[in-house]
Amino acid sequence: MKSRTAPSRLRIAAAASVAMAMGTAGLTALTGTASAATDDVTVQYRTSATGVTADQAEPWLKVRNTGSSTLPLSSVKVRYYFKADSAGTAYRFACSWAVKGCANITGTFGTLANPTATADRYLDIGFTAGAGTLAPGADTGDMQLRFHRADWQTLNQGDDYSFGPSQTSYADWSKVTAQVSGSTVWGTAPAGNDPADPPTDPPTDPPAGGQSLFDDFNYTGYSDPKISANGWNVRANSGGPGVPGATWAPENVTFASSGGNSIMNLRTSTAGTAESTKHTEVLTKATKFKNGTYAARVKFADTPLSGPDGDHLVQTFFTINDLKAPMADDYAEYDFEYLPNGGWGEPANILYTTSWETYNPDPWQAVNQHTESRQSYAGWHDLVLTIDNSSIKYYVDGQLFGTHDAAYLPERPMSINFNQWLIDLAGQTNTTARSYDQQVDYVLHVKDQVLTPAQVASKVSAYRTAGTKFEDKVPSS
């Protein structure tokens, strides 16, 4: 079985990184406008980057509570719409200053389901619980936000839906939308792209049919013969990704009971040297998974069990096949990757979802599309990935996290993988021993069926109610 050996992402990182753009072309612009919603909040906008071309876009925002009750900011999401300079271009979000504190503001990029002549991407601005609440009539004060191309090339704002070059002072701006608890309450989206669509999930009963893999990870240890019999490999072979010279330690994969369910634990440890660094990975032996739904409940960790914090750690759930040649067009990879301490040029915690078309390991070139969110994801999270013949969608805790284009759909089947590893030893150079745990509650794949997160939860509940610990009815490719 081909192990994961490639670096992972189009990002500002090593000096050798070269970003290549690829994506769908010839998208037809849509016409018409969406209806503005009832005003429970208003959003004001201004920009200090008024040029059609600029090093970075600067959407400065204020959110005002125009309702009659206190508003938790964690329930609010503001969306700014723009046109990517080219398909596949990656962007980076930053907060320069905010009255509520930049640490309490998140920025996540996504791709619109219905591209128009002035918008095919968006930037979602959200708030952590630390941002607090807004009393009736109060506003957030300044949020001095910005975003730029990952390669720092000049960007074109002239065709961006939400851009207002004459808005040099704060004023109500309906070309950004605002949601409260998932309902759109302010602004007009580009045609066909209201962020609340569809308004409700389909019924939670899973559709009939669809061969499934389900594993509750009910094993006694890494050497339990059932692990291999059920199609899993606990990695022991050397190689990347991660710290050169580190080992992949099967003994660091353990199993326990938590909350009435069996849990798989992947422990990665280091004492600041390559020789002391032990990574962990569990992957399917078979590469037989392609379109359909992938789901797992995963617990990420921000801090080590003991010892100094700060290592450039990667905690993952992903699917992948092998790269047969540099830039081979039948390569595929779809990632959830959480970096609790940053890395790859990022200074702090960030969650990536990435869809890969191909890459070249040397010199490094990448063709992919990704969505990111800069905030802590410590704790348990329900991760869902769906692939059909038109798009790839990523969900976190029932909410759509990112939609990626048909250009990145898989041509060949893949394996299913979990791993935890260190990018390098630069994040924390201390030689005191420390270790990090990533836990997995279950994994589910349903072949050729796109399930909602609610349907995934229903299907997992049905397995557990029936006492089913493992099932694999997915045919070999």
Report the alpha-carbon distance of residue 458 to residue 440 in Å, rounded. 18
Give the pLDDT confidence score for residue 150 in this predicted structure.
Answer: 77
Cis before residue 340, ω within 30 degrees of 0?
Answer: no
Q: Which residues, including other chains, have CB under 8 Å from residue 280's CB and lie 6 or more apart?
A: 235, 248, 249, 250, 252, 253, 266, 267, 268, 419, 420, 421, 438
Per-residue pLDDT in tens (0 to 9) along the chain, 477 residues: 333 333 343 332 322 222 222 332 222 222 233 333 445 899 999 999 999 999 999 999 999 999 999 999 988 999 999 999 886 677 888 899 999 998 889 888 888 888 999 999 999 999 988 899 999 999 999 999 999 987 788 999 999 999 999 999 999 999 999 999 888 999 999 998 888 765 334 444 444 448 999 999 999 999 999 999 999 999 999 999 999 999 999 999 999 988 778 999 999 999 999 999 999 999 999 999 999 999 999 999 999 999 999 999 999 999 999 999 999 989 999 999 999 999 999 999 999 999 999 999 999 899 999 999 999 999 999 999 999 988 999 999 998 999 998 889 999 999 999 999 999 999 999 999 999 999 999 999 999 999 999 999 999 999 999 999 999 999 997
The β-bridge partners of 356 are 333, 368
Report the alpha-carbon distance of residue 335 to residue 414 in Å, rounded: 12
Distance CA 370, CA 339 (A): 15
Residue pair 75/181 in contact (Cβ under 8 Å)? The answer is yes
Amino acid found at 101: G
C-alpha to C-alpha distance for 465 and 257, rounded to whole angstroms: 17
CA–CA distance from 52 to each of 49, 149, 189 (Å)?
Answer: 9, 15, 21
CA distance 448 to 89: 29
- Give the pair of three-digit tokens for residue 67: 């309702």
* pLDDT value for 89: 78
CA distance to 54, 175, 180, 190, per residue, from 79 (Å): 20, 9, 12, 11
Direct distance between the N- and C-terminal alpha carbons of the chain, in angstroms, rounded to an integer: 14
Which of 84, 149, 147 lies closest to 117 in space, CA to CA? 84
* pLDDT of 88: 66
In terms of residues, how long is the chain? 477
Q: How far apart are CA 398 and CA 49, in angstroms?
A: 35
CA proximity to 125, closest of 193, 177, 183: 177
Q: Which of 427, 438, 436, 420 is nearest to 272 (CA)?
A: 427
Say which residues have a Cβ less than 8 Å from residue 117's Cβ, sequence separation at least 6: 29, 83, 159
C-alpha to C-alpha distance for 191 and 119, rounded to whole angstroms: 10
CB 366 within 8 A of CB 17: yes
The whole-angstrom separation of Cα 23 and Cα 430 is 43
Q: Which residues contact 277 (CB under 8 A, 6 or more apart)?
A: 242, 243, 245, 246, 247, 268, 269, 270, 271, 422, 425
The sheet with strand 171-172 has its strands ordered as: 91-98, 143-149, 60-65, 41-46, 171-172
Instruction: Give the integer Cα–Cα distance in Å for 212 and 144.
Output: 47
Residue 204: its pLDDT value, please?
Answer: 46
pLDDT of residue 151: 79
Rounded to whole angstroms, how far apart are CA atoms 438 and 377? 12
